[in-house]
């Protein structure tokens, strides 16, 4: 699912998908987490996100989809779990 556009309402970023909804999907959350993880890599040449910034993004994600699993997402970013929540081997 591709993003068609976005806007800001009440201080929250709203993302409109091709299907016309404003709800982010699991694929969106995984992609966002992957970019946050990439920022920690030396080849990225950018400042890594702080834990406070990541926590703030997690709050945003919760507003986008009621099925969003905050702890699973944070564990994935931390490298403790895989994208589906399973333990990293």
Residue 71, strand partner residues: none
pLDDT more than 90, % of the chain: 53
pLDDT band at 21 (very low <50, low <70, confident <90, very high): low
pLDDT band at 18 (very low <50, low <70, confident <90, very high): low
CB under 8 A, 24+ apart: contacts of 29-38: 29/61, 29/65, 29/68, 29/73, 30/76, 30/83, 32/57, 32/61, 33/73, 33/76, 33/77, 33/83, 36/77, 37/77, 37/79
Q: Where are the domains of the chain?
A: 24-84
23-46: pLDDT as tens digits: 899 999 999 999 999 998 989 888
Task: Tell me the C-alpha distance between 55 and 8, whole Å.
Answer: 19
């Amino acid at each position: 699912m591709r993003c068609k556009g976005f806007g800001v309402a009440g201080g929250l970023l709203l993302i409109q998908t091709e299907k016309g909804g404003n709800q982010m999907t699991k694929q969106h959350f995984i992609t966002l987490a992957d970019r946050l993880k990439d920022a920690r890599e030396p080849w990225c040449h950018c400042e890594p996100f702080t834990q406070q910034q990541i926590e703030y993004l997690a709050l945003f994600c919760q507003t986008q989809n009621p099925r969003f699993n905050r702890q699973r997402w944070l564990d994935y970013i931390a490298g403790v779990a895989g994208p589906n929540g399973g333990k990293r081997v």
